[in-house]
Amino acid sequence: MEITNDTADEMWLRASVMMRRANHQTFEVNVDATGEDAVSLRLRSEIVQWLRAPLVSDSAHATVILRTVTAQVADGLKLEGPAADEGWHIHVPALSEHEKGKSSDPVIIESPSTRGLLYGFYAWLEGAVPSASMKPQDKISSPDQPIRMLDQWDQSDGSVERGYAGESIFYGRWGSNVHSEFVNFPDRGAQDVFRGDTDRLIAYARFCASVGINAICLNNVNVRGYAIRFIQDPWLSRVAQIAHIFESFGLSVFLSVNFAAPRIISGLSTLDPCNSDVQQWWDKTVDRIYERIPHFGGFVVKADSEGEPGPYQYGRTHADGANMFARALARHGGTVIWRAFVYNSHTDWRDRSAAADRARAAWENFHDLDGKFAKNAVLQVKFGPVDFQTSEPLNPLFFAMKHTNLIMEFEVTAEYLGHQIDLNFPLPQWEQMASWLVEKNVPVSKTLGLYAPNPQLTGFAAVSNVGMDWNWTGNPLAQANLFGYGRFCWDNNIPTTSVSEQWSALTFPRCDQDHQKTIARMLDQSNEIYKHYAAPLGVGFMVNRDGHYGPGPDDYEFSRWGTYHFADRDGIGVDRTQSNGTGYVGLYPEKQAKMFENPNTTPDDVLLFFHHLPYAFRMKDGRSLIQRIYDDHFEGAARVEDLIRQWNSCKKFVDECRWKEVSHRLLLQQANACEWRDEMCTFLYRFSGISDEHGRKINR
What residues are annotated to the active site?
A: 306, 387, 415
User: Taking the CA of residue 174 as centre, how many other CA atoms within 13 Å lie in the half-sphere pointing to its CB?
Assistant: 9
259 binds ligand GCV (CB under 6 A): no
Pick between residue 114 and residue 305 the one whose CB is nearest to ligand GCV: 305
Taking the complex as a whole, how short is the minimal distance between the CB of residue 220 and ligand GCV, in angstroms?
Answer: 6
Contacting range for ligand GCV; rule: CB under 6 A; set: 107-115, 218-226, 526-534, 613-621: 218-226
The answer to whether 538 and 552 have CB atoms below 8 angstroms apart is no
The answer to whether 374 and 393 have CB atoms below 8 angstroms apart is no
Contacting range for ligand GCV; rule: CB under 6 A; set: 70-78, 220-228, 291-299, 326-334: 220-228
Taking the complex as a whole, how short is the minimal distance between the CB of residue 22 and ligand GCV, in angstroms?
Answer: 43
Alpha-carbon distance of 166 to 159, in angstroms, equals: 8
Q: Please, what's the b/e burial string for 140-155 (b: 16 or more CB within 10 A of its CB; e: otherwise)?
A: bbbbbbbbbbbbbbbb
Residue 519 CA from chain centroid, whole number: 22
Pick between residue 517 and residue 548 the one whose CB is nearest to ligand GCV: 548
Taking the complex as a whole, how short is the minimal distance between the CB of residue 385 and ligand GCV, in angstroms?
Answer: 13
Pick between residue 161 and residue 370 the one whose CB is nearest to ligand GCV: 161
Taking the complex as a whole, how short is the minimal distance between the CB of residue 384 and ligand GCV, in angstroms?
Answer: 12
Pick between residue 305 and residue 481 the one whose CB is nearest to ligand GCV: 305
Which residues on neighbouring strands pair with residue 110, listed in sequence order?
67, 89
Please select the residue that binds ligand GCV; options are 50, 153, 226, 230, rule is CB under 6 A.
153
The answer to whether 30 and 20 have CB atoms below 8 angstroms apart is no
**Whose CA is closest to 649, among 525, 507, 519?**
519
Taking the complex as a whole, how short is the minimal distance between the CB of residue 462 and ligand GCV, in angstroms?
Answer: 11
Alpha-carbon distance of 287 to 283, in angstroms, equals: 6
Residues 326-345 that bind ligand GCV (CB under 6 A): 341
221 binds ligand GCV (CB under 6 A): yes
Alpha-carbon distance of 152 to 256, in angstroms, equals: 9
Residues 384-413 that bind ligand GCV (CB under 6 A): 387
Pick between residue 203 and residue 417 the one whose CB is nearest to ligand GCV: 417
Residues 296-315 that bind ligand GCV (CB under 6 A): 302
Taking the complex as a whole, how short is the minimal distance between the CB of residue 682 and ligand GCV, in angstroms?
Answer: 26
115 binds ligand GCV (CB under 6 A): no
The answer to whether 637 and 681 have CB atoms below 8 angstroms apart is no
Which residues on neighbouring strands pair with residue 380, listed in sequence order?
339, 407
Taking each helix axis from N to C terminus, what angle separates 625-648 and 513-533, rounded to the nearest 10 degrees? 150
Pick between residue 153 and residue 338 the one whose CB is nearest to ligand GCV: 153
How many of the chain's residues bind ligand GCV (CB under 6 A)? 9
The site map against ligand GCV for 156-195 (x = CB under 6 A) is -----xx---------------------------------
Q: Is 215 helix (H, G, I), strand (E, B) or coil?
A: strand
Q: What residues contact residue 117 under an 8 Å CB cut-off, 6+ apart? A: 31, 33, 43, 66, 67, 68, 88, 109, 110, 111
Please select the residue that binds ligand GCV; options are 68, 198, 222, 454, rule is CB under 6 A.
222
Pick between residue 221 and residue 326 the one whose CB is nearest to ligand GCV: 221
Taking the complex as a whole, how short is the minimal distance between the CB of residue 215 and ligand GCV, in angstroms?
Answer: 17
Pick between residue 300 and residue 626 the one whose CB is nearest to ligand GCV: 300
Q: Which H or E run includes 675?
A: helix 656-688
Could you say which DSSP state residue 109 is in? Answer: E
Taking the complex as a whole, how short is the minimal distance between the CB of residue 624 and ligand GCV, in angstroms?
Answer: 33
476: cis peptide before it, omega within 30°? no
Residue ranges in contact with ligand GCV by CB under 6 A: 153, 161-162, 220-222, 302, 341, 387
